[in-house]
Structure 1
Amino acid sequence: MRATHMLLLAACLLHLSGATGHAQAPAGPLGGWNLTLSYENDTLGGTDRYYTSGLQIAARSPTSEPPGLLRWLDDRLDAWGWGGDVRWGFGLGHQIYTPRDTLTPRPDPRDRPYASFLYGALVLQRQERDALNTFEFQLGVVGPSALGEFVQNNIHDLIKDYSANGWDRQLKDEPAVNLVFERIHRLPPARLGRLEADLLPAVTLSLGNVATYAGAGVTLRLGQGLDADFGPPRIRPALVGSAFVDPPTAGRDFGWYVFAGAQGRAVARDIFLDGNSFRDGTPSVDRRPLLGDLSAGLVVHWRGLRLAYSQVFRSEEFYGQRGGAQSFGSLGLTARF
Structure 2
Amino acid sequence: MSRMTAAPMLTINPGVIHPGRRIAAILIGMLLLAPTAAFAAEKAEKGILSLVLENDLFYNTDRNYTNGVRVSWLSAEDKTPEWVLRLADKFPLFPVGKAVRASYAVGQNMYTPEDITLRDPPLDDRPYGGWLYGSVGLIAETGQRLDQLELTVGMVGPASLAEQTQKRVHSFVNADEPRGWDTQLKNEPGFILAYSRSWRSLVAESLLGIPFDLTPHAGGALGNIFTYANAGLMLRYGKNLPLDYGPPRIQPSVPGSGFFIPRHGFGWYLFAGIEGRAVARNIFLDGNTFRDSRNVDKEPLVGDLQFGIAITWRNLRLGYTHVLRTREFKGQGDRRDDFGALSLSLQL
Question: Matches of 1:304 and 1:88 in 2, distance apart?
Answer: 19
Q: For the Cα contact (< 8 Å) 1:217–1:263, is it kept in 2?
A: yes
The answer to whether structure 1 residue 255 and structure 2 residue 267 are counterparts is yes
The answer to whether structure 1 residue 291 and structure 2 residue 302 are counterparts is yes
Query: What residue in structure 2 maps to residue 132 of structure 1?
Result: 146
Name the aligned partner's letter for residue 327 of structure 1. Answer: D
Query: What residue in structure 1 maps to residue 222 of structure 2?
Result: 207
Alignment of 1:70-149 (within 5 A): 70-77=84-91, 82-149=96-163
Query: What residue in structure 1 maps to residue 344 of structure 2?
Result: 333
**Offset of residue 67 of structure 1:** 2.0
Query: What residue in structure 1 maps to residue 185 of structure 2?
Result: 171
Question: Matches of 2:93 and 2:137 in 1, distance apart?
Answer: 19
Match among 329, 333, 336 for residue 318 of structure 1: 329
Name the aligned partner's letter for residue 175 of structure 1. Answer: P
**Offset of residue 170 of structure 1:** 0.2
The answer to whether structure 1 residue 45 and structure 2 residue 56 are counterparts is no
Question: Matches of 2:206 and 2:332 in 1, distance apart?
Answer: 43
Which stretch of the first structure deviates more once superposed, 62-71 or 188-197?
A: 62-71
Query: What residue in structure 1 maps to residue 81 of structure 2?
Result: 67
- Secondary structure of 1:100's counterpart equals coil
**Offset of residue 83 of structure 1:** 4.2
Which stretch of the first structure deviates more once superposed, 71-80 or 51-60?
A: 71-80
Question: Matches of 1:65 and 1:306 in 2, distance apart?
Answer: 21
**Offset of residue 253 of structure 1:** 1.7
For the structure 1 residues 300 and 273, does the alpha-carbon distance in structure 2 shift closer, same or farther, using more than 3 Å as the test? same
Q: For the Cα contact (< 8 Å) 1:245–1:304, is it kept in 2?
A: no
- Secondary structure of 1:34's counterpart equals strand
Name the aligned partner's letter for residue 345 of structure 2. Answer: T
Query: What residue in structure 1 maps to residue 14 of structure 2?
Result: none
The one-character-per-residue Cα deviations of 1:124-174 (angstroms, maximum 9, x if unpaired) are: 011111111001010111110000110001000001111110000000010
The one-character-per-residue Cα deviations of 1:301-323 (angstroms, maximum 9, x if unpaired) are: 10101110000000000012145
The answer to whether structure 1 residue 219 and structure 2 residue 222 are counterparts is no
**Offset of residue 89 of structure 1:** 1.5
Question: Matches of 1:245 and 1:101 in 2, distance apart?
Answer: 40
Gaps of 5+ in 2: 1-28
Question: Matches of 2:47 and 2:319 in 1, distance apart?
Answer: 18
Match among 278, 286, 294 for residue 266 of structure 1: 278
Q: For the Cα contact (< 8 Å) 2:233–2:274, is it kept in 1?
A: yes
Query: What residue in structure 2 maps to residue 246 of structure 1?
Result: 261
For the structure 1 residues 228 and 110, does the alpha-carbon distance in structure 2 shift closer, same or farther, using more than 3 Å as the test? same
Name the aligned partner's letter for residue 267 of structure 2. Answer: G
Question: Matches of 2:190 and 2:82 in 1, distance apart?
Answer: 22
Runs (4+) of structure 1 moved beyond 4 Å?
78-81
The one-character-per-residue Cα deviations of 1:55-111 (angstroms, maximum 9, x if unpaired) are: 000110111363264233123148975342211120001000000011110011100
Question: Matches of 1:41 and 1:226 in 2, distance apart?
Answer: 27
Q: For the Cα contact (< 8 Å) 1:65–1:86, is it kept in 2?
A: no
Question: Matches of 1:199 and 1:255 in 2, distance apart?
Answer: 18
Q: For the Cα contact (< 8 Å) 2:94–2:147, is it kept in 1?
A: no
Question: Matches of 2:173 and 2:95 in 1, distance apart?
Answer: 53
The one-character-per-residue Cα deviations of 1:203-235 (angstroms, maximum 9, x if unpaired) are: 121000000000001111110222431112111
Percent same amino acid at aligned positions? Answer: 41
**Offset of residue 193 of structure 1:** 4.9
RMSD of Structure 2 on Structure 1 (CA): 2.3
TM-score by length of 1: 0.87
**Offset of residue 191 of structure 1:** 2.0
Name the aligned partner's letter for residue 218 of structure 1. Answer: L
Question: Matches of 2:116 and 2:217 in 1, distance apart?
Answer: 35
Name the aligned partner's letter for residue 286 of structure 2. Answer: D
Question: Matches of 1:41 and 1:234 in 2, distance apart?
Answer: 12
For the structure 1 residues 183 and 107, does the alpha-carbon distance in structure 2 shift closer, same or farther, using more than 3 Å as the test? same
How many pairs were matched up?
Answer: 313
Q: For the Cα contact (< 8 Å) 2:194–2:221, is it kept in 1?
A: yes
**Offset of residue 239 of structure 1:** 1.4
For the structure 1 residues 245 and 80, does the alpha-carbon distance in structure 2 shift closer, same or farther, using more than 3 Å as the test? closer
Query: What residue in structure 2 maps to residue 192 of structure 1?
Result: 207
TM-score by length of 2: 0.85
